[in-house]
A = this chain, B = another copy of it.
């Protein structure tokens, strides 16, 4: 239970988007602050100036550091001695790229929501720019912060299920059952993919993150089945991995009874693993020929990794915000090392490269769906 006790130098964080009214900004803020590694000191919290100011006030950001937009914020903060050291971007998808570019060019580390961009070319530009600028660029695939996801990843890396043969991942919700609205139903602001962009990219990332394998080709069938849904609300995919493993991905936002149903099952030559995001503390592990074991954070028979990203003993549930906070604490480690000029620490938060993979995944799915579900490389 390392996290809560970390000695720490605090870092200065800014936020773009995420103002009052939505959920995502508050989640970023609570996660960032949980372990005492970050202070939130600046923001361009809303396109609506009044809501931006109100949000800044509620979150105790000084009025002169509440900005109308990302560009002005990047410039002003870069000019301050006490300027932000990193920025969290939680705007609609189409705004990720320009915002991120502004901060990268200003020499500020970036934490960005997914999907990273609305085209592969824009994502590639972010990868290049982050590299050229020598900056940390994290992408918030939040679910990779769960201790039992980390435990699964370590178990697979350690060979506990043998060679990975099969990966099934699904992400189900009911948000768009009666239709969707706002920017998530607007191709201009969301990009050309719907569910696949919003939740499918999380599922794809989780599959690669846990297995350490990469999807090399996929076949997708996309549909818009809910009334008025302009973008895909249902997708099924065949997945093929770089080691020959096969898999499937099922993604729906029109699945009544599912709140935030991300789950994954991995089967290997000598064992299987199963994890569900809504019961994140539990990982079911079956060594082939043996009984299924239920593993818990900080519990028995769990690989070491789950102990570090953890605050309370087994049986005291940690959840989504703690998983998110784990990423923020790892990012703080990485940013601190970069600021200090010391070596990159061993942390596992998703980066801009993962973000690019997510965008490639989205467009491979789109292309496959438009071509009779033929396999596409990514």
Contact = CB atoms under 8 A, between A and B. Distances in A.
Contact of A272 (B170, B236, B256): B256
A299 interface: yes
Contacts of A258: 272, 315
A294 to B, nearest CB: 5
Given A30-B311, A288-B178, A234 B256 contact: no
B5 A58 contact: yes
Interface string A237-279: 0111000111110101011111111000101111110100111
B291 A300 contact: yes
Main secondary structure of the interface of A (DSSP, over half): loop
Given A4-B26, A238-B373, A246 B259 contact: no
Contacts of A257: 267, 271-272, 274, 284-286, 292
A132 B216 CA distance: 52
B288 A291 contact: no
Interface stretch (A117-125, A219-227, A351-359): A219-227
Nearest to A298: B259
Contact of A36 (B7, B36, B60): B60
B259 A313 contact: yes
A312 B248 CA distance: 29
Contacts of A319: 281, 316-319, 322
A300 B293 contact: no
A256 B284 contact: no
A370 interface: no
